[in-house]
Chain A
Amino acid sequence: MSEGLQAANAPPCFLSKEQFAKLFKVLRALEYDVIGPTIDQEAIVYDRISSIDDLPRGWTDIQEPGKYRLEKRNDDALFGYVVGPHSWKQNLFPPVTTLSVADRTDEGWQFSEPEQDAPKFAFLGVRACELAALKIQDRVFLEGPYIDPQYQGRRNQALVIAVNCTQAASTCFCTSMKTGPRCKAGYDLALTELPEGFVVEVVTPQGEAVINALETQIATEENQNQAEAARQQAVDQITRTMDTTDIRDLLMSNLEHPQWDDVAERCLSCTNCTMVCPTCFCSSVEEVSDLTGDHVERERQWDSCFNVDFSYMNGGLVRNSIRNRYRQWMTHKLATWIDQFGTSGCVGCGRCITWCPVGIDLTQEVAAIREKQT
């Protein structure tokens, strides 16, 4: 995976749906573990898939604050949905993983890395906002003074097959965060779905290796115009906005704004927003011991700044109210993330709005603070 633009300056090609069906076999032959969209428990999730039949053909998602429903489409689109509760983060930064292993020997404790080979993933169906999220997590796990070896191993091998959005949900605001809906960088292949097939942009040698194993034609001008129109549809459907002007200073100079109390009245501190967020990276580590206590593993699990004991220190809690915890989450995501990583932590995917059980919408919370600055 590289971020280079159109390396070979190759013109886009056209991949028929019949040929696309063979993509899975090609990826398997290249020893990729294919992760892509599929329906599970009435949601489109990302999971291991093995054929075109696993894709959510003919389904779409309807999203609003606190609402997610699948609905039948009136066509056979394979990627005719937006984003679901999952993100690729669960594959690169697994919800549960072993970090280190301790064994008691005659010479005392011995410590080692867990034995695990990084899986070689092919991500199929990565949206533009998700490409931005991958880039943000790269900054966190790969580009600071310390590197997370597990993330690195998985990320380096991953093949990214992006699929441009051709529709938007009511919760989408990627245009405000300047992350989408058009896939611009950070992928190996980018697809735009048309009724008969896909217009494919090939960027990297890894992407080229895949597409060369399939039969394609040079995309006609008509194909390309159709693809452009399909992508424009997504742009036109985006209604939600967030004004990000000076947002870092806006939030950090309003840390005592009454809106934090207002949102605390609604927020359940349930952690859903952080679990579905494609960039949230907080974790905690637990000791997992065998019965003898002579073999102990350190297990990392996703954590959330909404968990009560997240800020536990010296027998007390630093953030002992929902107000303080919501403020931490939102100021981190939209403001201090910029200090830390030179980018917002938000990509405008809208997951936190959709999956909030009470429908809290961070774009409205920001607007409320902006409207009445203290």
Chain B
Amino acid sequence: MNSSCATGETSNAQPNPWVPQTARIREITPEVDNVATYHLTLVDPAAANAYHFQPGQFNMLYVPGAGESAISMSGDPDSPETLAHTIRLAGNVTKSISEMKVGDTLGLRGPFGTSWPLEACKGRDVILVAGGIGLPPLRPLIYRLLAERQQYGRLHLLYGARSPDMRLYTAERSLWSERGLELKETVDRSNPGWLGNVGVVPLLLERLESFEPKQTTMMICGPELMMRFTARTAMQRGMTAEQIWVSTERNMQCAVGLCGHCQLGPEFICKDGPIFRYDQISPYFKVEGL
């Protein structure tokens, strides 16, 4: 399915998809509470050279003894010598990673999965919608869009976080604004001193002015419910499901479509996704417990 946007599989194919590469932590950037960005380098120079990824793809990071976790790449796809992964402490594996320091090694398999379709953005307005930890998987796309800024129309980032202090990449986001990405943000709960929006992300879309639905491509990454409501709002404002792309999440264990865990209807989220055009995946989003 949607093989048109499945990229990076053959060029980085390892002879054995189960065996990780050794990656070393070059730098750790604390972001917000329980979230940090890990900058990794593949130790084997040949592997490092061969490594390329597309925005939206993910790696399996492996801590021997703890296990593997699927983590989206959050760095610049045009500088793949350092692989950035913005990780929220959520389970066993991410807890083990959070206890690591610069110089430590871990395993890495990837890149896996489909990518955000840049070709669907060319010459059009682009609205990126991120909820919470859904911003990191969109960041490589932002780098690409800004690197070739003149090829696109208006660029928006609608970003919702739980609270003002949970907003990611704050300093960097103002750089993005300067380079032509219009930023709107909202929080679920305000703090003293917060003068911005309070409420869910779809509200930002509802209020967006000078919005030309026919001219727009939308990319959404966040909790499933948030993505559904955002897509619904977009369609109420005149967009079609074919103009909307989402990044989905399921229990990904093997990343190569062989273990069966991440299925959603006919799709293996790991290899047919995680990025889907909304009309392809929305019928299955709506079925509870599928």
User: Which bucket holds chain A's interface residue count?
Assistant: 35 or more
CB-based nearest A residue for B286: A255
B residues 236-288 in Cβ contact with A at 8 Å: 249-251, 253-254, 256-261, 263, 265-266, 268, 271, 287-288
Residues of A within 8 A of B268 (CB): 340
Knowing A109-B22, A296-B64, A298-B18, say if A285 contacts B254 (CB, 8 Å): yes
In B29-67, which residues have CB < 8 Å from any A CB? 43, 62, 64-67
- Contact, CB under 8 Å: B258 / A141: yes
Chain A positions within 8 Å of B1 at CB level: 339
Give 1 or 0 for each of A326-359: 1 = CB within 8 Å of chain B CB.
0110011001100110000000000000000000
Report A-chain residues with C-beta under 8 Å of the C-beta of B258.
140-141, 144, 146, 148, 281, 283
Question: Closest residue to B258 on the A side, CB-wise?
Answer: A148
A170→B12 CA distance, assembly (Å): 50
- In the complex, whether B105 has a CB less than 8 A from a CB of chain A is yes
Contacts of B263 in A (CB 8 A): 328, 332, 336
When distances are taken between beta carbons in the complex, the residues of chain A under 8 Å from B9 are 145-146
**Set B21, B249, B271, B288: member contacting A146, Cβ < 8 A:** B271
Residues on B with C-beta less than 8 A from A110 are: 22
A313 lies within 8 A of chain B by Cβ: yes
Q: Do B90 and A314 touch (CB < 8 A)?
A: yes
Q: How far is the CA of A112 from the CA of B13 in the complex (A)?
A: 16
* Contact partner, B64, options A99, A102, A303, Cβ 8 Å: A102
User: Which of A11-19, A304-312, A363-371 participates in binding chain B?
Assistant: A304-312
Contact status A145-B257, CB under 8 Å: yes
Whether A252 is near chain B, meaning CB under 8 Å from some CB there, is yes
Contact with A along B1-31 (1 / 0, CB 8 A): 1000010011001011111111010000000
Interface string of A225-255 (1 = CB under 8 A from B): 0000000000000000000000000001001
Partner of B290, one of A107, A303, A324, A340: A324
> Considering only CB atoms, which chain A residue lies closest to B107 in the complex?
A111
Whether A146 touches B19, Cβ cut-off 8 Å, given contacts A252-B265, A285-B254, A293-B65, is no
- Are B265 and A109 in contact, CB atoms less than 8 angstroms apart? no
Residues of A within 8 A of B66 (CB): 287
Known: A145-B9, A285-B68, A324-B289. A310 touches B261 (CB 8 A): yes
Known: A110-B22, A318-B250, A328-B290. A282 touches B260 (CB 8 A): yes
Q: A315: which B residues are within 8 A, CB to CB?
A: 90-91
B226 at the interface (CB under 8 A from A): no
Q: State which residues 60-118 of A face B: CB under 8 Å.
A: 99-100, 102, 104, 107-113
Q: Give CA–CA (A255, B263) in the complex, Å.
A: 15
A146 adjacent to B257 (CB under 8 Å): yes
Task: Give bound CA distance, A313 to B261, whole Å.
Answer: 10
Report the Cα distance A39→B104, complex, angstroms: 53
Q: Is the CB of B203 closer than 8 A to any CB of chain A?
A: no
Which one of A102, A312, A336 lies within 8 Å of B251 (CB-CB)? A312
Nearest residue, chain B, Cβ from A294: B64
**Complex interface residues of chain B between 204 and 244 (CB less than 8 A to chain A):** none
Q: Complex: how many Å from CA A140 to CA B258? A: 7
A298–B17 Cα distance when bound, in Å, is 13
Q: Please name all residues of chain A whose beta carbon is closer than 8 Å to the beta carbon of B24 when the two chains form the complex.
A: 108
Shortest CB-to-CB span from B11 to chain A, Å, is 12
Interface flag for A284 (CB, 8 Å): yes
Known contacts A109-B22, A149-B16: does B250 contact A313 (CB below 8 Å)?
Answer: yes
Contact status B43-A108, CB under 8 Å: yes
CB distance from B217 to the nearest CB of A (A): 26
Query: Contacts A328-B263, A328-B290 known; A146 to B256 CB distance under 8 Å?
Result: yes
- CA–CA, A147 to B271, complex, Å? 13
* B186 CB to nearest A CB, Å: 22
Residues of A within 8 Å of B20, CB to CB, are: 100, 102, 111
A155 within 8 A of B: no
Q: Within 8 Å of chain A (Cβ to Cβ): is B146?
A: no
A13, chain B: closest CB distance, angstroms: 40
Q: With A283-B260, A336-B265 given, is the CB distance from A99 to B18 under 8 Å?
A: yes
- Establish whether residues B19 and A113, one from each chain, have CB atoms under 8 Å apart when the complex forms: yes
Please, which residues of chain A bring their CB within 8 A of the CB of B251?
A: 310-313, 318
- Give the B-binding residues of A (Cβ under 8 A): 99-100, 102, 104, 107-113, 140-141, 144-149, 252, 255-256, 281-285, 287, 289, 293, 296, 298, 303, 305, 310-315, 318-321, 323-324, 327-328, 331-332, 335-336, 339-340
A sample of 11 more A-B contacts (CB under 8 A), given A108-B104, A148-B17, is A99-B18, A102-B107, A108-B24, A109-B64, A109-B107, A284-B259, A285-B259, A298-B18, A310-B261, A319-B289, A339-B1
Interface pairs (28), CB distance under 8 Å: A99-B18, A99-B19, A102-B64, A108-B22, A109-B106, A109-B107, A110-B22, A113-B16, A145-B256, A148-B17, A149-B18, A255-B287, A281-B260, A283-B258, A285-B259, A287-B64, A287-B65, A293-B64, A298-B18, A303-B260, A305-B260, A311-B261, A313-B249, A318-B251, A318-B289, A327-B290, A332-B263, A340-B268
Q: Taking beta carbons and an 8 Å cutoff, which residues of B are in contact with A?
A: 1, 6, 9-10, 13, 15-22, 24, 43, 62, 64-68, 90-91, 104-107, 249-251, 253-254, 256-261, 263, 265-266, 268, 271, 287-290
